[in-house]
């Protein structure tokens, strides 16, 4: 995320960042990176919902901005 304004972030920027958390299968056979991916995805989702709709007092009523639409949590591989 090369010092880009948060409002100018695209979905691809966020996916590139989240995918940078992936570990090679040889070093991480149990895919523990998925927990980091999902944690950061959740934080980014809450942040961008707030950023695009800061006046909505109910966090659950805030709409998901286009940059986060379709960025889903990954299923755990256990």
Q: In the chain, where are the structural domains located?
A: 7-68
Taking phi over 0 as left and psi of -120 to 50 as alpha, with beta for the rest, 70 belongs to left
In order along its 78 residues, the chain shows pLDDT tens digits of 468 899 999 999 999 999 999 888 888 888 889 999 999 999 999 999 999 999 999 999 999 999 999 999 999 876
Token digits of residue 30 = 């149990």
pTM of the model: 0.87
- What pLDDT is stored for residue 66 in this prediction? 95
């Amino acid at each position: 995320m090369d010092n880009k304004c948060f409002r100018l972030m695209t979905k691809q920027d966020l996916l590139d960042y989240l995918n940078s958390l992936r570990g090679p299968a040889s070093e991480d056979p149990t895919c523990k990176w998925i927990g980091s991916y999902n944690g950061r995805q959740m934080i980014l989702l809450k942040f961008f919902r707030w950023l695009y709709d800061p006046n909505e007092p109910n966090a659950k009523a805030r709409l998901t901005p286009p940059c986060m639409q379709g960025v889903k949590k990954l299923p755990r591989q256990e």
